[in-house]
Structures are given as C-alpha cells and as structure tokens.
C-alpha cells in the first residue's frame, strides 16, 4: 500500500490534476525528513489539515548531501519515501533532486504551499508562483526542540 503512494513526477502531476478536477484542495510541502521524529509528524499532520490532499516533495539522497553535508542522509531515499508514504496524512510522495523544489511546485500547481514557521512567506521557494495562481502560502508552528541535526548530535554525545 505505501509503495503505491510513492509517485514519479509525472504520476504526481497526473494525480494532482485528478484531485483538482474532483474539487479537492492540494497541499504541497517538501523536505529531507531524515530520521523521522515527533517534529516531522506534527508538522506534516498540521500541513495536511490545511487542505484535502497532500503531496510531499522528498529530497533525493544527493540533494540531501548537498544541503546537509557528506554524511547525510542517514536514512536512504527509498526508506525515507516508504516512511513518509506510510503516514496516513501523506497522500503522495515524489522525489526531487534539484537544488530547490520550485520546478516540482510549478509542475504540481498546489493550492496551498506549506513550510514550518522557521520560514517567512517571503523566503519560501515557490510562494510567488502559488500566490500568483490564487493559492495560499502557510507556515505552521514547529514543535520546539526537535530537529534531526540535534538528534544526531545527542546520539554522538552518548558514545
């Protein structure tokens, strides 16, 4: 079941078009989601609650390494995609390897673009595109104290 929620870019575009044709509001968010923790779960659930369907853009392993450094990701893209797809509030997962999710956002055309409140709307990639189409850009409150980087540091300190 979870593997059927992992879509190629073309499949994600087709799925978004079908949902849109059925009158459903599509939420899009993206991230690395390496070592899933409570902060991720809370964020994704809040994001999904802003619309009818949610497509998650997941960074490929190469793009995570570019963003986070050569020792990341800890969890490979296939495993991260399966984990994300297993969440009931994630309707589809699609990988992207570009430096930003802009091309994916432009292809999916979400109604609602979501990031954590550590971003301002002015700094969210794709915000201008979504707003220009009459969509919304939202930030959701993050759970304080949760980050994969902090979790990795705590693990290292325990050895």
Per-residue pLDDT tens, the chain, 159 aa: give them: 678 999 999 999 999 999 999 999 999 999 999 989 999 999 999 999 999 999 999 999 999 999 999 989 999 999 999 999 999 999 999 999 999 999 999 999 999 999 999 999 999 999 999 999 999 999 999 988 888 778 888 888 888
2-157 has which fold? Answer: Rossmann fold (3.40.50)
Integer angstrom CA distances of residue 146 from 39, 91, 123, 154: 5, 24, 21, 11
Q: Where are the domains of the chain?
A: 2-157
C-alpha torsion 27→33→39→45, nearest 10? 30
């Amino acid at each position: 079941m979870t593997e059927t929620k992992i879509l190629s870019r073309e499949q994600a575009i087709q799925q978004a078009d079908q949902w849109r044709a059925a009158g459903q509001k599509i939420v899009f968010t993206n991230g690395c989601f390496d070592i899933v923790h409570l902060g991720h779960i809370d964020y994704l659930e809040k994001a999904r609650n802003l619309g009818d369907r949610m497509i998650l853009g997941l960074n490929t392993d190469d793009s995570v390494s570019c963003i986070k450094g050569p020792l990341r990701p800890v969890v490979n893209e296939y495993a991260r995609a399966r984990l994300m797809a297993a969440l009931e509030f994630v309707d589809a997962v699609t990988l992207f390897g570009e430096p930003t999710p802009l091309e994916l956002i432009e292809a999916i055309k979400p109604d609602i673009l979501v990031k954590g409140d550590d971003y301002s709307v002015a700094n969210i990639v794709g915000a201008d595109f979504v707003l220009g189409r009459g969509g919304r850009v939202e930030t959701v409150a993050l759970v304080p104290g949760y980050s994969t980087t902090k979790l990795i540091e705590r693990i290292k300190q325990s050895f």
